[in-house]
Amino acid sequence: MGRWICCLCSRAADPLMLLLVLALGCNPSTAAAAAASPSVPHVKPSYSFGRTFLGLDKCNACIGTSICKKFFKEEIRFDTWLSSHLKLPPSSLLSYSGNYTDDAKSWRLVDITRLTSKYQHDRADKRICTSLLRTRSCSLERALRRTQRFQKWLRAKRLTPDLVQGLPSPLLRCPSQRLLDRIVRRYAEVPDAGSIYMDHLTDRDKLRLLYTLAVNSHPILLQIFPDVEGWPFPRYLGSCGRLLVSASTRPLRDFFGAAPEVAADLALQLLAVLRSMATNDLNYFFYFTHVDAGTFGVFSNGHLFIRDASTLGVIDKEEGSQLIDGQQEYKDIFSCLTVDCQSALVPCDSIRDQHSLVMVCQDLLPKLLSGKFLSPVQESIDAFLERCARGLGDGGGGASEAMAELAGILKPLRSCDSRFAYRYPDCRYSDKY
């Protein structure tokens, strides 16, 4: 009876209290507490992005900040690490798979990559502080700004060969003024690129560009030779701190066990990429200093691209290298951030036209093509790869003739179906595809 009296009293006093009393078993004290408590809005779980994870705490010894807003607005998400708490992946990884959106409705796969491993970054940061300021930790920007090289960058109106002398990147091993002008004109981390002069670059921009070139030129190559102009690189979407974001590809190693017709198609595409790197409208000769199973990648439509451009060198066939004697051996802190300062670099004049093809024949094509086909086709492929791996011999047309020979063996082995979306259904109507 007391409980009903309680309810009646509550009803008379406050209709809202009556509802709470009924819902809570007619306990007035509990109902009163519930009524007094403010409602707590539902909080959407979100990433807790840290400046340290992104590398923003190291700027301006970083790549840039052009895509940071998308990280903080959660328009870039780490694909395999989504959970109820949306925890970030381990910072020790070199690359991550992610999803990217422009409208919060349609998402596409992207690769999120560090310039180098966290261990190498930490080691380089420590080297900057101990070498330049004699301390274990420091402001990287303050230390690097004091260097003789960066002071020259600050005074320079144009990026010239002497400003990049001694940098370890293969891209800059044989620099021409035409190539350096292209780097400044196409530099995507500033909003008003387009001029070969560096007037539009702030001091901060110059340090970011110099740091990127010194650590890993991969993002620069993606910017200055964009996929929309037909170059075989994934699209550069931007950077945040020491992370860069580009279109996603699966590494070639994932296809070493592929069906024979898929292996033949990928091998033919690889040959086509090497051919375009040696002969193109801009008269740049691209060569690899190293290849492995992650150098090339494959898009979801079956199209093969260069996934990792960090070991790619460029020789200007119009102007040649414009470093003078002694400049290639110049060394400073920017020469030694991620490599051994004593490591010998390949001289520009020693690069032959078959250089990259021989590397591919030694390290990639056997893993892709061996044991896939019936006799006598397999014997022909194996014999070619063995001869190619030994160097093909000298001669101006060695590489192009060799690629044409292998292409002639592989073309009849391809098939035309929806697995090869990059050339299907065109391949049904034209031998070109």
Q: What is the pLDDT of residues 312-338, one digit of tens each?
A: 999 999 998 887 655 566 889 999 898
Mean pLDDT, rounded, for 179-195: 92
- Lookup: tokens for 40: 């707590």
What pLDDT was estimated at residue 343? 64
Which one-letter DSSP state was computed for residue 310?
T
Closest CA to 308 of 389, 368, 253, 267: 253
Q: How many Cβ atoms from other residues are within 10 Å of residue 84's Cβ? A: 6
What is the longest distance spanned by two Cα atoms in the chain? 108
Which one is predicted more confidently, 273 or 194? 273
Counting the structural domains of the chain, the total is 1
- Answer yes or no: is 360 within a domain: yes
Amino acid at 153: W
Helical ranges in 49-193 per DSSP H = 51-54, 68-72, 118-132, 140-145, 148-155, 177-186
Say what the alpha-carbon torsion angle 8, 9, 12, 13 is, to the nearest 10 degrees: -150
- Answer yes or no: is 372 within a domain: yes
Alpha-carbon distances, residue 117 vs 122, 242, 313, 405 (angstroms) = 9, 10, 21, 40
What pLDDT was estimated at residue 36? 42
User: What is the Cα–Cα distance from 378 to 381, expressed in whole angstroms?
Assistant: 5
- Answer yes or no: is 192 within a domain: no
Helices and strands counted in the chain (H then E): 16, 10
Mean pLDDT, rounded, for 36-44: 41
Is 340 a residue whose pLDDT tops 90?
Answer: no
Closest CA to 52 of 91, 78, 98: 91
Model confidence at 398, pLDDT cuts 50, 70, 90, reads: confident
What pLDDT was estimated at residue 192? 76
User: What is the Cα–Cα distance from 100 to 110, expressed in whole angstroms?
Assistant: 6
Mean pLDDT, rounded, for 338-358: 80
What pLDDT was estimated at residue 399? 83
Its domain, for residue 392, covers 251-306+342-417
- Lookup: tokens for 152: 């020259």
Mean pLDDT, rounded, for 208-219: 97
Amino acid at 412: P
- Answer yes or no: is 383 within a domain: yes
Residues in the chain: 433
Is 4 a residue whose pLDDT tops 70?
Answer: no
* Strand, helix or coil for residue 427: helix
Strands 107-114 and 250-251, how do they pair?
A: unpaired
- Answer yes or no: is 189 within a domain: no
**For the chain, what is the mean pLDDT?**
85
Least confident piece of the model among 106-115, 198-207, 330-339: 330-339
- Answer yes or no: is 389 within a domain: yes
Closest CA to 396 of 347, 353, 350: 353
- Answer yes or no: is 271 within a domain: yes
Question: What string of DSSP letters covers 20-60?
Answer: HHHHTTS-HHHHHHHHHSPP-PPPPP-----HHHHTGGGTT
Is 14 a residue whose pLDDT tops 60?
Answer: no
Mean pLDDT, rounded, for 136-149: 95
Model confidence at 49, pLDDT cuts 50, 70, 90, reads: low
Is 377 a residue whose pLDDT tops 60?
Answer: yes
Q: What is the pLDDT of residues 403-414, one digit of tens each?
A: 999 999 999 999
- Answer yes or no: is 209 within a domain: no
Q: What is the pLDDT of residues 225-282, one digit of tens each?
A: 999 999 999 999 999 999 999 999 999 999 999 999 999 999 999 999 999 999 999 9
Mean pLDDT, rounded, for 389-394: 75
What pLDDT was estimated at residue 212? 98
What pLDDT was estimated at residue 3? 43
Contact 399, 278 (CB under 8 A): yes
- Lookup: tokens for 386: 């063995």
Contact 75, 245 (CB under 8 A): no
Q: Is 244 left (phi over 0), alpha (psi -120 to 50) or beta?
A: beta
User: What is the Cα–Cα distance from 422 to 299, expressed in whole angstroms?
Assistant: 9
What pLDDT was estimated at residue 90? 78
Is 34 a residue whose pLDDT tops 60?
Answer: no
User: What is the Cα–Cα distance from 2 to 359, expressed in whole angstroms?
Assistant: 91
User: What is the Cα–Cα distance from 127 to 391, expressed in whole angstroms?
Assistant: 39
